[in-house]
Structure 1
Amino acid sequence: MKFLSFALALGAAYFLDNVVADASVAVDRLVSKRHLTKRDAGFANGGNSRNSGKGANGKPRNSANYELSFYHVNDVHSHLDEFRSSGSSCTDATKGCVGGYPRIKTVIDTTRPTHRNSLFLNAGDEFQGTLFYTLYKGEKIATTLNQLGFDAMTLGNHEFDDGDDLLANFLHNLTFPIISSNIHTKNPKLAFALLPYKIFTKHNLAVLAVTTETTAYISNPSNLTTFEDPVTAAVRTVNYIKKYHKGVNRIVALTHIGYDKDIELAQSTRDISLIIGGHSHTLIGNMTGAKGPYPTIATNLDGDEVFVVTSYRWGEYLGYIDVEFDRKGKIVSYEGAPIHLTNATAEAPKLKAQIKQWATAFSAYSATILGSTEFPLIQTTCQLEECTLGDFTADSMEDYPLGSAVAGIINAGGIRAEIDAGNITLQQALECFPFGNSITELDFTGAQLWEIFENIVSGVSSVNGLTVTSFVQVSRSIRFTYNPTNAVGSRLITLAIKGEAIDLAATYRISTLDYLATGGDNFWASRSDFVTLGTMDQVWAEYVKSKSPVSYVTDGRIATTADTVSQKGI
């Protein structure tokens, strides 16, 4: 099979797009058009709208406008079945469980036929997070997704965790198009599975897609695959669409770059009217804890509004927005809100039965009780501050009996689920640490450690200028303070190990993960001077047994401060 380069893909795009578009039209269920109200969608959190006679920018509604409804999900992370909102498995439905593709399917099957015009889009990161991926890799995920009626999907960074070839096999089992405008690959099977954009002829609409360029160092793509700057790729693709698809004046971006980057993309481009995103697990809407409104409205280079939406994580919410385009392809009216998928949402029985059958393979893991915890081991705040699950995990690394480290460092992104108070099972250990990462030990000078923690709290590497893509959690022997209002590169105020201010000239042995050792999340430059020890899930499971009942509260090992002067070298 010949390598399908991006240039050749663009040249062939018109033919490929229209083949897929014609197939989509053939299976569309054309029913009488009815405007979907907040009540119709079952919105648990109210919703936002601008459609009472006037639309965006105060423009009057026009019968010539085109109404199109978008459903969307992102970052489901193999949560095929319902789960606790903490991220752990739903072992007791009476405690309240959310999400799951059977609930998504119910909402889609019930409400989508009420629209003459609708699209269902997936913003990536279907891989990793539960035993459905650990045991089955992409097989059961593909079987599930093919039953949902997706119109298109883009790739998240975690789709590359097990390499290009496994991903390519997964994509070839899907029955809907996969779009990427900024992933360039010389892997022929992967390249053949990707479209640079998708034209939906029925809607005079194009969907382009971009994935975070940090995938190159936070996942495991081969050296045959590269990731272009998302803004550069989006601008080029928009220009190509405008040049070669003259009748298409509605352009949507399907992204896996994160909420803040989505806003930057909106502000840095022209002609994109709607951005449907993922990656940052950002909650937006009218619910408690939301970071912004749904949709969030940004302004592009021409001063036009761009609507940014995302639907949190794990499939707890199904994104929904209904928009009206004017003749120029601009959105002039909208209504919608994320749909919260709770116990009140029925589960599609056939899909539910399939998933439950697959889950019988988990019984040995769910039945193995490692110990218990008096208080919840909190994960949801680990990317922002010290968290109890981060403390406990890093302490397990410091105390690893086969090691000789003085302290432990783990990336917050390496901890994936929360543990409720009560029994802790082996299945929960695997859900918390699904990546198969191993413990390793590295020697650092005090000066190197100061630079590492400065880079982490500043969010950018002083070594290569790249973004540090995760916060950190540390064991009890490390304590540091930082001032987040200081200038980048000057935020770390104090750093101590074993109760003493760090000695810049001394050498310290640190327990960490092989993922970080090889440059993951850009904590430090990739190294090879290490050997791997036990896997993180195994080490953690044994630590639970030895410390049970676990009783952890945060102890101030990570703290912010109003001090502005660094204590480096003092």
Structure 2
Amino acid sequence: MIKNNKPAKLTLAHINDTHSYFEPQSLQLTLDIDGEKISPYVSNGGFARIATRVKQLKYEALKNKRYFLFVHAGDCFQGTLYFSLFKGQANSDMLNALGIDMMAIGNHELDMGNAPVAAFLERIKFPMLAGNWDLSNEIPTKNHHLKRRHNLLAYQPELQTAHWLTRYVDDEPVAIFGVSIDKMSDIANVDADTPFVNAFETVKNTVRAINKSGINKIILLSHLGFESDCELAKVVSGIGLIVGGHTHTLQGDFSHLGLSNDAEYGVYINGAYIVQAGCHAQALGHCEIDFAADGRVLSFKGKNELLMGRRLCADKFLTSTIDQHLHQKGSEILQHDNKVIVCKKDIQLQSLLLDKYIPEVRQLQSTVISRIDRDLRHVRLPDQEGGSEIAPLVAQSFFYMMNKSGYQVDFAIHNAGGVRSSLYQGNLSEADIAGKLLPFVVPIGIYHIKGRYIAQALEGAINNATNNGVIGTGSGSYPYTHNLKFKYDSELPLGKRITELKIYAKQTGWREVDYEATYCGSSSAYTMKGKEGYDGLLQMEGEGVISEHSMADCFIDFIKSGVDHIAFKPPES
């Protein structure tokens, strides 16, 4: 038991949901210059600028005799070509170079199951906090074993608490632990033998255990989302700071720059301050927290800062600057804005990116594989203009790739949310597909299933997308198909809404699906797990087969094969 608690002062910097956005992005602002509105583009964010600013903050903190922490609240995987090409390796290198002290696990770290997390843990130099991840029943014969890894602070089932870290601030112990979404199996691909348990109960039990050990100063890293963090703070007392992620909430009023006003920075609920720093390495959050001896937060001040380059440009490609007079006035506005930091890129981190990763990414960005003669529209739910023109082609690419790999696939289904953008007239590169259209690295698989369960999966996905008789998770579940066509009658009873379900074969053309016959289908590993209304697919025969091909792999190979589609043409020589 630790007695005689003392005050403690620390400075904490934080990021979340960086999603492999290592390079700066183009950001359009709206500025008011002498009554005239201008909308210049700036180079915003990136890991090299974060590194520069963190070093400045750490120097200031240590100079003022304040303890310094730099944390990540989860979701570093997915998002850009850096993940599509290098998976978690680039993230481990870049986060190690950034010098974070710890990280909560996010749901996208588990999009491809546990194995990539195990590989990530082998490389990182900081602990990963996953306090409600129960590894106690992990199958011991796995190649990617996670249980008892020293840098993974998971759930303690015997105590029903998270493992926590203890950091000494002014010789006073501060406990830090992390939790993530407990419905992880609904939105990611965590292995079935390692479930996530109830986050709120884990937090309650952990705070109680920490207090019982004599520590009364507590920081939580949360990948639950802003609204859930607020609800958590209402029902659990004793936490001083909740550092959050998942919902990409950029706290602070940036409306004067033409940007969001999501919530104030440091929302205060029941003794806890709640912070989150947007997404995609665009902003850095930081705060100074002074704890009283009894664990209460006596003083809190902080903000999110947008990290920018010096040039104000006329185009999103940042190739031409705006009028000199407006540039000077605009620059002065940004220089005096306390939520904007104009800073240079850290040389060491930028060199790592330039030497090790950028060349391969640039090569992919310049590899044109097709020309598109007209815009191809993507919408999640069909409207008066029709449905997505792209999602059915993506489903067709699954069918193509799985048959090319030797499987006799009859049909393919893809959920609308797996496609992230429309395609526009002009050149199409591999980078456009892997980095923008299909950025989530989710593997494709095949399964054998009776016709009645195909109908069940289609109806379940549409019910979920439209909230028809169920509480859905969003329109991203809407199904697009290849070699399947169907009608959906929203007025019919649950379980009977799919009508005129037909399947195509070269030998027979379109025929009614036999509900008792078995067919071979292809879908992403995500929908094969019955996510978001696709629970009918769980009735597959056996466990199915998960391939090594991602969504982007399939579509790139499909386009390169010379897809017979009116909009796609061979690249110009």
**Same structural fold, with TM-score higher than 0.5 when normalized by the shorter chain:** yes
- Relative distance call for 1:293 and 1:535 in structure 2 (3 A) is closer
Pair 1:74-2:16 in alignment: yes
Check conservation: 1:120, 1:149, Cα contact below 8 A.
yes
Name 2:433's counterpart in structure 1: 429
Across the two proteins, how many residue pairs are aligned to each other? 461
- Cα RMSD of the aligned pairs, angstroms, is 4.6
SS class of match (1:147): helix
- 1:391 aligned to 388, 392, 412, which one? 388
Q: TM-score, normalised by structure 2?
A: 0.66
CA distance in 1, matches of 2:376, 2:166: 46
Note if contact 1:283-1:310 (Cα within 8 Å) is conserved in structure 2.
yes
Unaligned runs of 5+ in 1: 1-10, 15-63, 87-93, 484-489, 499-503, 551-570
* Equivalent-residue separation in structure 1 for 2:433 and 2:298 (angstroms): 48
The code of the aligned residue for 2:219 comes to: V
AA partner of residue 392 (structure 2): D
| Alignment match of 2:530 (pick from 496, 519, 526) | 519
Written as runs of structure 1 = structure 2, the 5 A alignment for 1:162-561 is: 162-186=112-136, 187=145, 191-195=149-153, 196-202=163-169, 204=172, 205-244=174-213, 246=214, 248-287=215-254, 290=260, 292-295=262-265, 297=267, 299=269, 304-344=270-310, 345-359=343-357, 360-371=359-370, 391-397=388-394, 402=400, 408-412=413-417, 414-415=418-419, 422-431=426-435, 432-438=438-444, 443=451, 444=453, 449-458=458-467, 468=473, 471-475=476-480, 512-521=523-532, 523-525=534-536, 526-529=538-541, 535-541=550-556, 542=558, 546=563
Relative to structure 1, is the Cα distance of residues 535 and 161 closer, same or farther in structure 2, using a 3 angstrom cutoff? closer
- Looking at structure 2, the residues matched to 100 and 459 of structure 1 have their Cα atoms a distance apart, in angstroms, of 42
Give the Cα separation in 2 of the matches to 1:518 and 1:373.
34
Letter aligned with residue 285 of structure 1:
G
Structure 1 Cα separation of the partners of residues 8 and 261 of structure 2: 30
Segments of 5+ residues of structure 2 without an aligned counterpart are 29-39, 137-144, 154-162, 311-342, 404-408, 502-511, 569-573
Identity of aligned residues (%): 22
Distance 2:68 2:465 in 1: 42
Contact 1:457–1:471 (8 Å) recurs in 2:
no
Cα distance in 1 for residues equivalent to 2:187 and 2:118: 19
Whichever residue aligns with residue 13 of structure 2, its letter is Y
Q: How much has 1:417 moved relative to structure 2?
A: 6.9
Deviation readout 1:382-418 (Å, 9 max, x if unpaired): 6x998x9x92431314555759989954152x34578
Q: Do the aligned residues in 2 keep the contact of 1:396 with 1:539 (CA within 8 Å)?
A: no
Q: State the alpha-carbon separation in 2 of the partners of residues 176 and 326 from structure 1.
A: 28
Q: Partner of 1:158 in structure 2?
A: 108
In the aligned structure 1, how far is the partner of 2:233 from the partner of 2:294? 18
Partner of 1:139: 89
Which amino acid in 1 is paired with 2:240? Answer: S
Letter aligned with residue 151 of structure 2: A
Alpha-carbon deviations, 1:80-132, whole Å to 9, x = none?
A: 2334569xxxxxxx975433211110111123211223321111222223333
1:275/1:309 contact within 8 Å kept: yes
C-alpha distance 372-515 of structure 1, shift in aligned 2 (>3 A): same
Q: Is the contact between residue 460 and residue 468 of structure 1 (CA under 8 Å) also seen in structure 2?
A: no
Q: CA offset at residue 229 of structure 1?
A: 0.7
Conservation of the 8 A alpha-carbon contact between 1:409 and 1:474: yes
Q: What is the alpha-carbon distance in structure 1 between the residues aligned to residue 394 and residue 415 of structure 2?
A: 9
Q: Retained in 2: the 8 A contact 1:317–1:339?
A: yes
CA shift, 1:207, in A, is 1.4
Q: Distance in 2 between matches of 1:313 and 1:385?
A: 29
Question: Is 1:107–2:76 an aligned residue pair?
Answer: no
Please tell me the residue identity of whatever aligns with 2:527.
L
Provide the C-alpha distance between the structure 1 equivalents of 2:83 and 2:461, rounded to a whole number of angstroms. 32
- Matched residue type, 1:294: E
- In the TM superposition, what is the alpha-carbon distance from 1:146 to its structure 2 partner? 1.8
Which secondary structure does the structure 1 equivalent of 2:350 belong to?
Answer: helix
**CA distance in 1 between partners of 2:20 and 2:422 (Å):** 16
CA offset digits 1:178-210 (Å, max 9, x no partner) = 323212214455543223111221154221210
Write the distance in 2 (CA, Å) between the matches of 1:535 and 1:218.
Answer: 17
CA distance 1:216–1:330, change in 2 (3 Å) = same
Residue identity opposite 1:347 in structure 2 = K
Q: Tell me by how many angstroms 1:241 deviates.
A: 0.6
- 2:419 and 2:276 map into 1 onto residues whose CA distance is 22
Structure-2 separation of matches of 1:152 and 1:447: 43
Q: Is the 8 A contact 1:142 1:174 kept in 2?
A: yes
Higher strand share: 2
Note if contact 2:391-2:419 (Cα within 8 Å) is conserved in structure 1.
Answer: no
Classify 1:368/1:80 alpha carbon distance in 2 versus 1 (closer, same or farther; 3 Å): same
Aligned CA distance change for structure 1 residues 109 and 398 (closer, same or farther; 3 Å): closer
How far apart are the structure 2 equivalents of 1:335 and 1:460?
Answer: 46
* Alpha-carbon separation, structure 1, partners of 2:95 and 2:23: 13
Q: 1:450 to 1:75 in 2, by over 3 A?
A: same
Using a 3 Å threshold, how does the CA distance of structure 1 residues 143 and 372 change in structure 2: closer, same or farther? same
Per-residue CA distance 1:5-58 (angstroms, 9 max, x = gap) = xxxxxx9xx9xxxxxxxxxxxxxxxxxxxxxxxxxxxxxxxxxxxxxxxxxxxx
**SS of equivalent residue, structure 1 residue 361:** helix
Q: Kindly provide the amino acid, as one letter, of the partner of residue 388 in structure 2.
A: D
CA contact (8 A) 2:239 2:272 kept: yes
**Normalising by structure 1, what TM-score?**
0.67
Q: Is the 8 A contact 2:78 2:439 kept in 1?
A: no
Larger Rg: 2
Cross-structure match for 1:557: none
How far is 1:447 from its partner?
A: 6.0
| CA distance, structure 1, for counterparts of residue 376 and residue 46 of structure 2 | 23
Contact 1:157 1:215 in 2 (8 A): yes
Moved more, 70-79 or 156-165: 156-165
Using the TM superposition, name which of 272-281 and 440-449 deviates more.
Answer: 440-449
Whether contact under 8 Å (1:164, 1:190) holds in the other structure is: no
